[in-house]
Each structure stands twice: as structure tokens, then as C-alpha cells.
Structure 1
């Protein structure tokens, strides 16, 4: 069976200083773990051809498909607030772009494809754990309706990756509406390369925001998408873990699933990432970090907003200052829906915050509490159920007749809980991919939980609880 990928590449037509052209580094023994059939169909790809020897070779990086234009993108970024003037794709190769069934341009990228000029002495590889974590979590986010990169395929390499000991190597085929980051703009701004900033701005407007018109319109559009994205993260208890500017997509998608996690027991200060020692990217801090990231984007494109610097600063500041209102309105909409409310407004904030505050004090599970509103099991998540009862009086007076259907549609029954993800990874390292596939199947319909998947909604036992997650690089 012949693999045909209808590439239509555009990023490679930007100036050469935007990337380095190179092919993936072949691996010893490619092995297929999974192909995402539904996503393949969306992209106009034949899933069976992807499973063929030719497809497996391409997905592992051992062969470059006809029409591909492999390259590694360069960018910079603030990492935990510290400036790094050059980062880039250190273990990823962009194969090229396709136009999907909806007419949307999508990147096909191999993550773990070998060293690039931006690897910074790294091996450019990925081990099996982070590949499966990103596959599971990114596809779960998509099923939850949250903008995200996607996972098309996962491969083994037949080669060990040395981290803390030898671990099995793997490659992820990642799909995104683009891999352009805030840090991409920062890279050229730091070099005062106005020509490149103009070219990048024009490219992003044409690809993602044709209605924006100019640099200020682009800034406003990116801000709006980021604000809505983070509000949706908050609604499922998601913690990104590394909200660096190089991990902030200007397309408004969730990107770079490293030490990410979903909360079990709710607490606004929750941190899982092993490298976030001071809680910079804690759950409740994610909105303010997103604002900070948007300010860095504004700074990078300031010369394009207005020729007068003072006027440009004023316009950019006004745009960034709109973020909190957009975020707040979306957050109210998201959490109001979780309570089954209709026509939410800022008057509902005390009701929402009242429940979250009680949950934090009582150690209530985030997902099970909100899902439990639909079947009268929420109070059981509280150490002192009367705390729920006291809050529920106001909620019951506020909710409309169809509240139950509204709440059921907004509250997932199953999420990729940390301990289930780790169990799937541990089993896969031992050669058993059944838990990985079972978890993916359950997460593909997160608002409907079959009897066979009921165990995946349980909170972890004390010995199963995962308190730290790791980046994997």
C-alpha cells in the first residue's frame, strides 16, 4: 500500500533564518504503537497506509515522504521568567503541512526525531513515557472540546534513550494548526530584525487571523484566544506546568504537554511539575501568566503597532489589559455551565467561588464533585458533607429547569488522571499497551462512561497518588 500525504507547505517559504532544513535521524527498529484513525481521516490520510511498512518508516523518521519539506523551527523564550535568546525545535522536525477536510492548514511534526541545530547538546530523542503522556492528554483535551495539538501516531524506535538510566525510545507524530509561538516573535525582536517580524506577522495573520488586518488586530486576536483557552483549562482542572513563552501558541492551542496534570483534590495552589519549584505555573496562577506572555508578544511586535513608540505602547497596553475581562467572562460561562446555569453573569461569581472555596477546604475531588452535581453524589466528595449542603441552598435557588442536562454536558465523567496515565506508561514499558488503549478509548467520550471503564473515574488510592510530573527531556 502506497503512502500519499498531500503536502502543501508554506512555512518553508519564509526566509531561511526562520528554520534549519534537515531530515529526521533514522532509528534502529521502528515499531508502530498506535495510529489515530479519526484524525488521519480528517487530514485526508489513509490510516492503513500509515500502518504499512512505508508508513511506519515515515512516522519513525526513517524515510521522508514525497512532498515533505523537513525543517526545525527556531524561536526564543522566557523560561520560568528567565530569558533565553535562542531555543528552537531541539527534538522535533516539521515534515510539512496539509489542508484538512475543513480547509484548515495543519502541521505534521515528528517529536523525538533526532538532534537539530537547536538541541543544545541534547540527543534530540524522546522516551516512551512522554510520548504516551502527550498522546493521551492531547487527545483527551480534544475530546473535552479544548483547543489543542493532536496526536496522529506513536512509534517505538528500538533504541534506548538515556535519562535516569536507559529507557525505551519513541516518536510522536504531532498535528497542530501551526507550531508558531510567542517565542518565535521574541527571537526576531531580540535581534531587532524588523523585516523578519513583519514577515512573521503577515504570515500569522494570513494563516490564523485573516480578519485581524494589522499587527494590533493580530495582538488583540491572540489575546482573546489565549484568554478563552486558559479559562477552559481551569474548567477541567488542568495544569499545564510549563507556560513559558516558547510553549505559548499564537494559534491559541494547548501545546507542549510536558509535566502537565489534571487535579484530583481541588486546591488553587496545586503544582505538579518537578521543575516548577516556586509555583510560578500553579493552577490559579495560569491566567496571570498568560497575561504576562501576551505582554511579551506585544513588546515583540511593538514597532509594527504604531511608528510612534509612545502611541504603540499605549495601544498595546490597552489590548493586553482587555485579557482579564475576556478571561473572566469565559470563566463565568465555563463554570456556570458546570453548575447547569443558563444566562450566566458576573453576579454568579460568588456562587461559583463559594463552591470552589468549600472544595479546597474539604479536599473535594474536582472532577467528581462537578460531575456529582448531576446525580446527587457531589456531597459525598466533601469530608464534611454539610459544607456542601450549606452552599447548595443558593445553587438550588439559582438553577433552571434544565440544569441537569446542562451540567451533564459540561462536566466530564472521566479525565486522564495522573495515576492512570502513569499506570499506562508503566505497562507499556513492560510491553503491554492494553491500558494505554483502554484509557484512550474511555477518554474519547469523556461525558459518557461505560460500565467497563467505570474504574477510570475513581480517585487514586493513597499509594497510587502522583504528586510530581516530569518534563521527560
Structure 2
């Protein structure tokens, strides 16, 4: 299989040994229709030169890429809605490959060192951890993940990226959507698939040796600034990354849906989001999952949920470290989250920092305005209308929400925003900012995109949405 000269396989998770994963085989599917291919992501790992037939062989049949030993179903445990489950693991996916990003990709993100990237799957068949499930993914689920990942990336949220979506020709029975429904297999590119739950499994088994092996593996590959053997230092790095991720979710108006400990990873990237939603308007209690009856993972409770999960990770590290430094590392989450939330709101408004007090005032007044605006002032349009700060005043005050920008809450927001200088004001020259409405990802549009596929096999709305999201990504020019 021809690959780019900069393709550099690095299947290092495989070196941890059989205690951490099981060798598996992908399911054999009746057909393989390529529905989505992330060519930009493929270029970052040297796989952009694959022909369509080669792509399908790699991501529809999962024939091993050069230098890759074959798929592994990763072992882990987890708290699901705060109930411990020792019967988890990759039940419908596996780690297909690992490779270093190309030098060009490192340079593009202004990185000092290349990142190790994983290709993981969803819907690739049964594994020893399937627990009676069919190991499959609905095509609708695959479409939703492609859309969510593209939106999150455009909004500067650290996230895994949908790499490939192939329709596989099976009729699946599901209890939560009309059945039979179409099937698919997804591949995603992520910085790591090592979960908090990976540590939990080792701790549950009382395997200090596994905890120590994981610490060194994660430290050396993902947090090299941490000294060897420094478990509290590693926890501190994961706390910082998780605080940044959570703050970016809040600024993006994103609700993950299922913030279990097996759905958070050591690099602080969005992945394995379930029935996700983006906020239509500021609703702190907004939930994404119909089964989240108590609102445990509601929008405004996401920082609490992430912190709770971090405490479970810290509990695992007690096997090899003293409690006090681990507690100190955990206690860094609150200050880090507040700091990162200020930075995320500045990023969303496209303005520069003026210091903690002024930056916090902008966050507070923006939330107050969104709260007062209710359903009439949607979350995303506020950031769109006022991107670049007061440089967008004429645009915002002549736009479709002009009547909402008045009153005491708006005056407080306006004065807070006026104090901040624009960051890279030239971004306002992008044609996107001439539009009256921003790109959003509300549930009605997602359902309409799926309805076109389901009813008429019409993929045009899906492709058009992805094209607009790519234009938005370039216009915002955020960095995750």
C-alpha cells in the first residue's frame, strides 16, 4: 500500500503488552461505500495519497497499514453515570494504528515536537468486550460524529477528528431509533485513546506495575514536561488539559452528553461524545441525553462532572503516590478552569486580554446578556455578531438581532467589550462575516441532514454543511 514518505508508523501502545489490550479482527461487511474521507487529516499522517480502493481496504476492511501489527481492543473500566462498571473495554471499536504526525503538520500548528496520533474505530465489529452487543455503528451515528467533530474543530475545541465513514450494508436493530437502520464503520484520528478508565482497570486489579507502566507511557508520549515517575505531576498535566477542554466546551455551547470516566482521555480531547447537542440558547440545565434524567451531565454541570472524573483518576494514582501532592494537583482544576474560560471567551469574541478583572467582566456580562436574551438570543449568534469586539458594532447593530442589543445587560456587555482590542482584525474581512447568520449545529438541522440521507440517499446537504464548516474554520482561525 503506497504511503507518503512522511508516514511514520509508531504502534507504541502495542508495546505495553497483553495486559492492556486484546488482538481482534474487524467484522466482514456486505459492502463498503465511502461516504466521508478527511483528506486534510490524512495529509497530517501521510495517508492522503491512498486511492479510494486502498482507503476502503484500510478503513472498511482494516487491512493493516504499513508498519502496523493489526487492531487491538483496548481494556478499561469506568464509572457510567457514577456507577462503577468493571465490564467495559472496546466493545465496538479498536485501536487500528498509531503514527507520528508529519513535519508539515507539526509546523502548521506551531508545535515544538511532533504528536503521536491514533486511528481508532467505531462500529468495526465484536470484541471480547462487546457484552452481547453487535459491535456495529448506525450510519446516523456516524454522520452525527462527523458533523460534531467538524463543528468542534471549527470552534477551536480540542477534539478527535472523524477520519473516514464507510457505509457497510447491514440492517441494524436499535431501540432508540427507527429500525432496521443503516450501518457504518467510522475511523477517527485522535492524540490518544488512553482513558481515565484505563487507569481505573489497573487500580481495580491492584496492579501497581500496570499503573507505573501507564504513567511512564503517558508521561513520555503526551506530557514529556513531567519528570519520570512523577505521578502528581502527570495528574497536574491532565488536570490542566481537562480544564482547557471543559472551558472550550462551555464557550462553544457544547454538551457532550455522556461524561463517564471511559469517555475522557489523558490528552484532554473531545471523543466518544454520545447524544451531543449544541445550545440553542443559554440554558444551564440543558441536557443532551434523553436518559440523563437527573441532569448529571447538563451544560453547566460539565465542569463538575470533569472534576469528579479527575478525582477518580487521582484515586488510581494513590497506589503509587502520596495523597497530599495528588490533592494539590486536583485542587488546581478550579483556578485552571476559570483561567481557561476567560481565554476561551476572548478567543470566541476575537479580542485580546486586558488582565484578569477586565477579562472576567467580559465573561460575566456576556453570560448575563445571554441569560436575559432567553430563547430569542441564541448562543452562537452572539459570538458571531460581536467577533472582533467593537469593530463589529455596526454589523451587529444593523443585523437580525439588533433589537436584542439594548437595555442594561447589553450596556454592561458593550462597555466590557469596548475595552478590548481586536485580535487579528483582518479576520473580519472573510466573506463569512458578511452573512447575516453564523454556522450553527442545532438539532433540527442535524435531523434534516440525516432525513435527506435516510429518505433519498441525498448526501448533498451533508457535504454542503461540511464545506461551510470548513469555511468557518478558516474564517475563525482559532487554534485548539
TM-score range (shorter-chain normalised) is: 0.7 to 0.9
- 2:89 is the counterpart of 1:76: no
- Bigger shift: residues 361-370 or 329-338: 329-338
TM norm structure 2: 0.85
For residues 240 and 209 of structure 2, what CA distance do their matches in structure 1 show? 26
Is the 8 Å Cα contact of residues 341 and 398 (structure 1) preserved in structure 2?
Answer: no
| 2:241 match | 225
Q: Take 2:214 and 2:402, find their aligned partners in 1: how far apart are those partners?
A: 49
Tell me if the contact between 2:142 and 2:185 (Cα under 8 Å) persists in the aligned partners.
Answer: yes
Q: Return the alpha-carbon distance in structure 2 between the equivalents of residues 44 and 247 of structure 1.
A: 28
1:112 paired with 2:123, answer yes
Structure 1 window deviating more from structure 2 (64-73 vs 235-244): it is 64-73
d(CA) in 1 for partners of 2:189, 2:343: 28
**Aligned-partner Cα distance in 1 for 2:169–2:418:** 60
Please point out which of 17, 22, 25 is paired with 1:23. Answer: 25
Mapped contact 1:413–1:448 kept (Cα < 8 A):
no
Compute the displacement of 1:132 (Å). 1.0
Given that 2:256 and 2:288 are in contact with CA atoms closer than 8 Å, whether structure 1 keeps it comes out as no
Per the TM alignment, residue 366 of structure 1 is displaced from its structure 2 partner at its CA by 0.7
State the Cα distance separating 1:80 from its structure 2 match.
0.9
Q: 1:416 maps to which residue?
A: 441
Distance 1:448 1:142, change over 3 A: closer
| 3-state SS of 2:411 partner | helix
Q: Counterpart of 1:244?
A: 260
Q: Is the 8 A contact 1:415 1:446 kept in 2?
A: no
- Are the counterparts in 1 of residues 123 and 136 from structure 2 also a CA contact under 8 Å? yes
Aligned partner of 1:11 among 7, 10, 13: 13
Matched position secondary structure for 2:266: coil
**Is residue 370 of structure 1 aligned with residue 372 of structure 2?**
no
For the Cα contact (< 8 Å) 1:27–1:158, is it kept in 2?
A: yes
Take 1:17 and 1:45, find their aligned partners in 2: how far apart are those partners? 30
Q: Does 1:442 align with 2:468?
A: yes
- Show the counterpart of 1:175: 189
2-side partners of 1:47 and 1:426: how far apart? Answer: 33
C-alpha distance after superposition, 1:374-408 (max 9, x if no partner): 322479277684355433453365334x4793996
Partner of 1:322: 332
- For residues 187-266 of structure 1, the aligned pairs below 5 Å read 187-213=201-227, 214-266=230-282
Match of 1:58 in 2: 58
1:279-330 per-residue CA deviation (whole Å, 9 max, x = no partner) reads: 111111111111111111111011222xxxxxx1111111101111011011
Measure the CA separation in 2 of the matches of 1:321 and 1:87: 29
- Alpha-carbon offset, residue 67 of structure 1: 3.5
2:46 aligns with: 44
Match of 1:470 in 2: none
Aligned residues: 440
Partners of 1:448 and 1:67 in 2: CA distance: 34
Q: Secondary structure at the match of 1:156?
A: strand
Q: What is the aligned partner in structure 1 of residue 109 from structure 2?
A: none
| Residue pair 1:127, 1:161 contacting (<8 A) in 2 also | yes
* Residue 380 of structure 1: aligned partner: 401
Residue 152 (structure 2) pairs with residue 141 (structure 1): yes
CA distance in 1, matches of 2:379, 2:134: 38
- Name stretches of at least 5 consecutive residues in structure 1 with no aligned partner: 306-311, 451-473
Question: Is 2:295 the counterpart of 1:279?
Answer: yes
* Counterpart Cα distance in 1 of 2:380 and 2:364: 16
In 1: Cα distance, 2:379 partner to 2:336 partner: 24
Partners of 1:337 and 1:407 within 8 A in 2: no
Q: Deviations over 1:326-370 (max 9, x none)?
A: 110111122234443532313543442233123223212111012
Single out whichever of 61-70 and 123-132 deviates more from structure 2.
Answer: 61-70
What is the CA RMSD across the aligned residues, in angstroms?
Answer: 2.5
Cα displacement (A) at 1:116: 0.6
**Closer/same/farther in 2, CA of residues 97 and 350 from structure 1, 3 Å limit:** same
Question: Residue deviations 1:201-249, cap 9 Å, x none?
Answer: 1111111011111211111100001001111111111111111110011
Residue 17 of structure 1, CA deviation: 1.7
Q: Which moved more, 1:148-157 or 1:387-396?
A: 387-396
Report the Cα distance in structure 2 between the residues aligned to 1:405 and 1:388, rounded to whole angstroms: 26
SS at 1:45 equivalent: coil
1:342 aligns with 2:353: yes
In the superposition, relative to structure 1, how do residues 198 and 35 fare at CA in structure 2: closer, same or farther (>3 Å)? same
Structure 1 residues 82-135: Cα deviation after superposition (integer angstroms, max 9, x where no partner): 111231111002112111113322111221001111111100000001111111
SS of residue paired to 2:448: helix
Which residue is equivalent to 2:94?
93
Structure 2 stretches lacking a partner, 5+ long: 107-113, 387-391
CA distance change for structure 1 residues 92 and 347 in 2, over 3 Å: closer, same or farther? same
Q: Are residues 382 and 79 of structure 1, via their aligned partners in 2, closer, same or farther at CA, if it must alter by over 3 Å?
A: farther
Given that 1:335 and 1:352 are in contact with CA atoms closer than 8 Å, whether structure 2 keeps it comes out as: yes
Shift of 1:7: 3.1
